[in-house]
Structure 1
Amino acid sequence: MVNKDLTDPLAQWLAMAPGQADMEVADRTRPLPASAAQRGLWLAQQISGERSTGYVVRHAYRLRGHLHIDALASGVSKLIERHEILRTTFTVVDGELTQRIEPATDVPLDPIPIPGTTPEQRLAALDQMLASEVRRPVDLESDPMLRARLFQLDTDDAILLLVVHHIANDAWSMGVLHSDLAELYAAAVDARPPQLPNLPVQYADFASWQHGQLSGPEATEQLAYWRTRLNGAPPLLAVPTDRPRPPVQSFAGGWISFHGSPELAAAVDATARGAAVTRFTVLLAAFQVVLSRWSGQHDLVIGTGVSQRPVPETEDMIGPFTNVLPLRQTIRPELTLAAVLAESGTTLLTALRHGEVPFETLLDKLDVPRSPAFNPLTQVAISSHEGLIEPLELTGLRTDYLPAEQVDAQRDLTLFITTEGALTGRLAYAADLFDKRTIATLVADYLTVLDAAANRPGTGVGDLVLQGPPRKTAAPAPQPTPASTAPDDTLLPLVREAWAAVLNRPDVTPVDDFFLLGGTSMAAMRLCTRLSYELGIRVPVRSLFGASRLSAFTARVHDLVATHLSHDRPSDNR
Structure 2
Amino acid sequence: MNEQLTQRIGKLSKQQQELLALLLNNQSNEITERPSKNTLISASSSQKRLWRMYKDNPNSAITNMSVALRLKGVLQVNALVEAIKYLVNRHEVLKVSFKEEGEEVLQVIKDITHYKISILEQADNAFEREEQILDYIEREIKTPFNLEKDFLLRPSLIKLRENEHILVLVMHHSVFDGWSGGVFFNELSEVYKSLAANREPKLPPLAIQYDDYSYWERQYLTSKESNEEYNFWKETLGNEYFNYLLETETEKEFSVDFEVININNADSLKLKKLSNQKQISLFMTLFSLYSLSLSKYFGKDKFIIGTPVAGRIKDEIENLVGMFVNTILLNVSINNGDSIDEVIEKTKNTVSKALDHQTFPIEDLLEKLSPNSGQAKRSPIFQTVFALQNAPSGNIDFGDIEVSLVKLKDAPPLHQLLEFYSPVKKKLDISLVLGEKNGEIVGLLEYNKNLIDQNEAQQIKQIFYKQIKELIK
Q: 1:281 aligns with which of 256, 273, 284?
A: 284
Unmatched runs of 5 consecutive residues or more in structure 2? 1-24, 413-422
Instruction: Tell me what 1:446 maps to.
Output: 464
Which range moved further: 405-414 or 347-356? 405-414
SS at match of 2:297: helix
Please state if 1:389 is matched with 2:393.
Answer: yes
Q: Which residue of 2 aligns with 1:230?
A: 237
Q: Is the 8 A contact 1:114 1:125 kept in 2?
A: no
Q: Which residue of the partner structure matches residue 111 of structure 1?
A: 119
Structure-2 residue corresponding to 1:406: 411
- C-alpha offsets along residues 141-188 of structure 1, whole Å, 9 cap, x if unaligned? 111110001122233111110000111111110101111111111111
Paired AA for residue 406 in structure 1: A
- 1:29 Cα deviation (Å)? 2.7
Contact 2:265 2:441 in 1 (8 A): no
Does residue 317 of the first structure (1) align with residue 324 of the second (2)?
no
**Match status 1:367 vs 2:370:** yes
Q: Give the corresponding residue for 1:5.
A: none
Return the alpha-carbon distance in structure 2 between the equivalents of residues 34 and 207 of structure 1.
Answer: 6
How far apart, in 1, do the equivalents of 2:436 and 2:68 lie?
Answer: 25
User: Which residue is 2:439 aligned to?
Assistant: 422
Counterpart amino acid of 2:313? P
1:379 alignment partner in structure 2:
383
Structure 1 partner of 2:30: 22
Pairing partner for 2:300 from 297, 301, 312: 297
What is the alpha-carbon distance in structure 2 between the residues aligned to residue 437 and residue 107 of structure 1?
48
Partner of residue 173 from structure 2, selected from 166, 169, 181: 166
| Change in CA separation of 1:271 and 1:396 when aligned onto 2, cut-off 3 Å | closer
Displacement of 1:288 in angstroms is 0.3
> How big is the shift at 1:277?
1.9
- Give the match's secondary structure for 2:307: strand
Over residues 421-463 of structure 1, what are the superposed CA-to-partner deviations in whole Å (9 max), with x where a residue is unaligned?
83412014246445666544433321211221333xxxxxxxx
Gaps of 5+ in 1: 1-17, 456-574
Pairing partner for 2:182 from 175, 192, 197: 175
Task: Decide which of 329, 332, 335 is 1:329's aligned counterpart.
Answer: 332
Task: State whether structure 2 residue 195 is matched by structure 1 residue 188.
Answer: yes
Q: Is the 8 A contact 1:83 1:317 kept in 2?
A: yes
C-alpha change, 1:216 and 1:41, in structure 2 (3 Å) is: same
Deviations 1:341-372 (A, max 9, x none): 11111111111111111111101121252245
8 Å contact from structure 2 (residues 284, 347) kept in 1: yes
AA aligned opposite 1:281? M
Q: Which moved more, 1:197-206 or 1:391-400?
A: 391-400
Select between 162-171 and 407-416 the one with higher mean Cα deviation: 407-416
Answer yes or no: is 1:68 the counterpart of 2:80.
no
Amino acid in structure 2 at the alignment position of 1:83: H
Q: Indicate the percent of aligned positions where both proteins have the same amino acid.
A: 23
> Which residue number corresponds to residue 37 of structure 1?
46
Letter in 1 for 2:434: I
Q: Partner residue of 2:141?
A: 134
Output the CA distance in 2 between the equivalents of 1:435 and 1:184.
48
Give the aligned residue type for 1:86.
Answer: L
Is contact 2:185–2:395 with CA below 8 Å preserved after alignment?
Answer: yes
The one-letter code of the counterpart of 1:50 is: P
Q: CA RMSD in A?
A: 2.6
User: Closer, same or farther in 2 for the Cα pair 1:360/1:107, shift >3 Å?
Assistant: same
- Alpha-carbon distance in structure 2 between the residues aligned to 1:214 and 1:167: 20
Which consecutive aligned stretches of 4+ in structure 1 deviate over 6 angstroms post-superposition?
none
State the partner residue of 1:215.
222
Partner residue, 1:53: 61
Partner Cα distance (2:402, 2:336) in 1: 52
Q: Which string of whole-angstrom CA distances, capped at 9 and with x for unpartnered residues, describes residues 39-68 of structure 1?
A: 122223333x11111101111111111111
> TM-score by structure 1 length?
0.70
Q: How far off is 1:245 after superposition?
A: 6.4
Secondary structure of the residue aligned to 2:222 is coil
Give the letter for the 2:252 counterpart: P
Q: What's the TM-score once normalised by structure 2's chain length?
A: 0.84
User: Residues 222 and 403 from structure 1, CA distance in 2 versus in 1: closer, same or farther, beyond 3 angstroms?
Assistant: farther
Q: How much has 1:259 moved relative to structure 2? A: 2.6
* Displacement of 1:106: 6.1
How many Å separate the matches in 2 of 1:269 and 1:161? 35
Q: Does 1:258 align with 2:262?
A: yes
**1:544 alignment partner in structure 2:** none
Q: How does 1:532-551 map to 2 (within 5 A)?
A: none
8 Å contact kept, 2:241–2:331: no
Secondary structure at the residue paired with 1:167?
coil
Q: CA deviation at 1:84?
A: 0.7
Q: If each structure's strand is expressed as a fraction of its own residues, which one has the higher value?
A: 2
Amino acid at match of 1:167: S
Cα deviation, residue 225, structure 1:
1.2
Asked if residue 78 in structure 1 is aligned to residue 86 in structure 2, the reply is yes
Q: For 1:429, give the aligned amino acid.
A: E
C-alpha separation in 2, matches of 1:82 and 1:347 = 39
Q: 1:154 to 1:414 in 2, by over 3 A?
A: farther
